[in-house]
A and B are shown apart, each in its own frame.
Chain A
Amino acid sequence: MSGTSINTSTPNGFERTSFLSRVVCIGMIIVQSMWAFRWQQALVLFTMSIGSFGLAAIMFLGEGALRNLWMDLDTLMGSRMDVYPAPGMGDKLLQKRPMVHFTAQDLEYVRAHARDAAYIAPMFNHRSRISQGDISAVAQVDGIAEPLMKEPAYTPFLGGGFTQGGRTGDRVECLLTKSLAARLRIFQEPLPRVAIGAYPCQVVGIIPDPPDADEPLRERMAIPYRWARMLWGGRGDIGTIIVSWKSPQQMEAVVDSVRKALDQARAPGAYHFSSSRFAVRKKKEIVSNIMLAGSAQSLFSILIASIGVLNVMLANVTRRSREFAIRVAVGAEPSDLGIIVLMESVALSLVGGLVGLLMAVAGAPLIIQALATRIPEASNIIPVITPGGVVAPLAVCVICGALAGAVPAMRARKLDVLVALRAE
């Protein structure tokens, strides 16, 4: 080899570059191209961001609504359910049977078989006329057993509450809810005596109204179970059974064991449960279903946006075939072109997803405000930004972007350079 020639094995100083520098350079090309064609891509970005916004907003609001429901649950009167000696309302056949009351044996059987229950106690409910002087009102009277007297719902904010004699039934004492006390014009101590029908009773405390109760049910009175049963209980009738559990996790086990015990003691379906927790669970199901429907709609809009990305990228490859051919002529590998197109599609979708996510973070409180004008309860919902709510829309956008970019990327790889250079 002569000295006048160049070193042909290393013709220039740039052949041996690192993988990292190549990645950085490809990234720069993608950013340059996205900026250069920003207006063509704006529509796709907008559509993708709307889909991402919908999905993220649904997840943030849904999570907030669910947490709100569980917070409601925690503020309910303990964690308990009522068991009524009657068939469920949904069972038409059983409704024709005569109501058969619970007996002391039923109560003992349930107490013996129900696992993990905090307590199992009887309760009497009866509507009765309550009067104080010239004023009277018809109210719900609850005959409560001792375990229930310790519940926060029966802790008075005015007055000392049941005395020892009242708890055992030696003295006739009662608690009034705030609404009933207001109706009877009882606002301060000393607390007066009232009459339940013809029976006198000493008021020993004013308790808060039951949360979430409708207007008529806010006017309530609580008296010791023993007196209630004596006043209104028939032969062997113990009223309803109250079952309470220690923690929300134990609810299912307690409910199952009570159900089995009553199935054996009486007959399947000859009783029914009523619990605020069940109502909350129902609400949770509704919220979950709304979330599911909303997510499906958002996914659909992302899918539509992906078709837009596919179209834009295909059009880009056609429009930019001259640019790609020039790039090949100046040293690009055909695989580089495929990577550039694919990554542009993914980046476009990701940017759209991020914009949508930011819109959801900023817009979720505004959605709550708008909802609250029609549904006041909606104002209690605080949007919750969860990792899942952030990752899911972005992941969906990236996957859709990659799928939409795959076909244009293949087309870019197989570009005929000479045809593209001549097609001016």
Chain B
Amino acid sequence: MKGPAPIQGTAPIKGAVPLVELVDIHKSVGASAGVVKILKGISLSVCAGESIAVTGPSGSGKSTLLHVMGLLTPATHGNLKVGGELVDHDRRKAINLRRRFGFIFQDAKLINGLSALQNVQAPLMHIGVWPHRQKKLATDALEAVGMGHRLGHHPGQLSGGESMRVAIARALVAKPSILLADEPTGSLDSANGRIIADLLLGMVGRTTALVMVTHQPELARRANRIAHIIDGVLVDQ
């Protein structure tokens, strides 16, 4: 099996075991209406302590790469390893591996009808954490992102920046290994965008990594690696 090709200008942290390893990943969609190839042989590895910015024009396959990496959709072809474990057709294994990722979407994607606290509790509920612990962990996570004073507020009562901070708390609450952020500052003004970027990059530590899709060069420059995709192919930057 071929190893992942390192991206020019960036290098994995020396000696680190990749948290995620993509090897020659292809992704196609559609059948009767014609097959569209979105990813064409992407190879990439993400190690602990890294922050990677995925950039590229619209429709180049950045979000799809994030979804494939986060096991939300299977690759059409290629090998994907999470924490050294090869992702195969075992659904149970895939679900357990998916819980190592924390997702942050562009428009926060909070669940309407639930409060900020309940939204942050949601990942813990699906894991099966006891309610009293859920509440404490969720409250701690919200306080960590400066939202401790808005626990009972619903998505409609929060601003874009606040919603994004709740979404970050939700992504972090189950202590994931890798944060996957899809244009986290895309819908925010520059001031809020900076706050969110600081928060996200501040979360990257010795045991976690961040992969974020962004169109904003200044945010991309703050990451320690940049992966540029054009038409489904990872190109050097």
Interface residues of A in 322-374 (CB under 8 A from B): 322-323, 326-333, 336
Q: Which residues of B contact A29 (CB under 8 A)?
A: 122, 125-126
- Residue contact A28 to B131, C-beta cutoff 8 Å: yes
- Residue contact A418 to B111, C-beta cutoff 8 Å: no
Q: How far is the CB of A113 from chain B (nearest CB, A)?
A: 75
- The chain A residue sitting closest to B85, CB to CB, is A8
- Residue contact A417 to B73, C-beta cutoff 8 Å: yes
Chain A 118-146 interface mask (CB, 8 Å, partner B; 1/0): 00000000000000000000000000000
Q: Contacts A2-B17, A323-B111, A331-B126 given; indicate if A9 touches B83 (C-beta within 8 A).
A: yes
Q: Which residues of B contact A13 (CB under 8 A)?
A: 175
Q: Which of B53-61, B112-120, B222-230 binds A? A: B112-120
CA distance A196 to B46 in the complex (A): 118
Interface residues of A in 1-33 (CB under 8 A from B): 1-2, 4-6, 8-9, 11-15, 17-18, 21-22, 24-26, 28-29, 32-33
Q: Contacts A12-B176, A330-B103, A331-B99 given; indicate if A32 touches B114 (C-beta within 8 A).
A: yes
- Residue contact A333 to B129, C-beta cutoff 8 Å: no
B127 sits at the interface (CB 8 A) = yes
- Residue contact B127 to A331, C-beta cutoff 8 Å: yes
- The chain B residue sitting closest to A29, CB to CB, is B125
- Residue contact A14 to B124, C-beta cutoff 8 Å: yes
CA distance A142 to B177 in the complex (A): 100
CA distance A417 to B134 in the complex (A): 25
- Residue contact B131 to A24, C-beta cutoff 8 Å: yes
Q: Contacts A330-B103, A331-B174, A421-B105 given; indicate if A36 touches B113 (C-beta within 8 A).
A: yes
- Residue contact A330 to B122, C-beta cutoff 8 Å: yes
- Residue contact A11 to B129, C-beta cutoff 8 Å: no
Q: Contacts A21-B129, A28-B131, A329-B72 given; indicate if A15 touches B49 (C-beta within 8 A).
A: no
* Chain B: number of interface residues, binned into ranges: 35 or more
Q: Contacts A11-B100, A32-B118, A417-B72 given; indicate if A5 touches B95 (C-beta within 8 A).
A: no
CA distance A18 to B129 in the complex (A): 8
* Chain A: number of interface residues, binned into ranges: 35 or more
Q: Which residues of A contact B202 (CB under 8 A)?
A: none
- The chain B residue sitting closest to A5, CB to CB, is B17
Chain B 1-36 interface mask (CB, 8 Å, partner A; 1/0): 000000000000101110100000000000000000
Q: How far is the CB of B192 from chain A (nearest CB, A)?
A: 20
Q: Which residues of A contact B128 (CB under 8 A)?
A: 14, 17-18, 21-22, 24-25
A91 sits at the interface (CB 8 A) = no
- Residue contact B96 to A5, C-beta cutoff 8 Å: no
- Residue contact A11 to B126, C-beta cutoff 8 Å: no
Q: How far is the CB of B141 from chain A (nearest CB, A)?
A: 12
A377 sits at the interface (CB 8 A) = no
B107 sits at the interface (CB 8 A) = yes
- Residue contact A322 to B206, C-beta cutoff 8 Å: no
- Residue contact B126 to A333, C-beta cutoff 8 Å: yes
A424 sits at the interface (CB 8 A) = yes
Which single member of B17, B73, B105, B208 contacts A8 (CB below 8 Å)?
Answer: B17
CA distance A33 to B113 in the complex (A): 8
A37 sits at the interface (CB 8 A) = yes
CA distance A327 to B127 in the complex (A): 11
- Residue contact B16 to A2, C-beta cutoff 8 Å: yes
Q: Which residues of B contact A26 (CB under 8 A)?
A: 125
CA distance A140 to B83 in the complex (A): 103
CA distance A11 to B126 in the complex (A): 16
- Residue contact B109 to A336, C-beta cutoff 8 Å: no
Q: How far is the CB of A21 from chain B (nearest CB, A)?
A: 5
Interface residues of A in 285-340 (CB under 8 A from B): 322-323, 326-333, 336
- The chain B residue sitting closest to A332, CB to CB, is B126
Chain B 62-105 interface mask (CB, 8 Å, partner A; 1/0): 00000100101100000000011100000000011011100101
Which single member of A22, A37, A331, A336 contacts B98 (CB below 8 Å)?
Answer: A331
Q: Which residues of A contact B107 (CB under 8 A)?
A: 424
- Residue contact A12 to B100, C-beta cutoff 8 Å: yes
- Residue contact A336 to B105, C-beta cutoff 8 Å: no
- The chain B residue sitting closest to A336, CB to CB, is B126
Chain B 113-150 interface mask (CB, 8 Å, partner A; 1/0): 11000100011111111110010000000000000000
Q: Would you list 15 pairs from A and B whose C-beta atoms are within 8 A, ordered by A residue?
A: A2-B17, A4-B206, A5-B48, A11-B83, A11-B175, A11-B176, A11-B177, A22-B128, A28-B131, A32-B114, A36-B113, A331-B99, A331-B123, A331-B126, A332-B126
Rank and list the top 4 A-B pairs by shortest CB-CB distance, nearest first.
A8-B83, A36-B113, A17-B128, A22-B128
Additional 9 contacts, C-beta under 8 A, given A326-B122, A331-B95? A4-B49, A5-B16, A5-B17, A12-B99, A13-B175, A29-B122, A29-B126, A327-B111, A330-B123
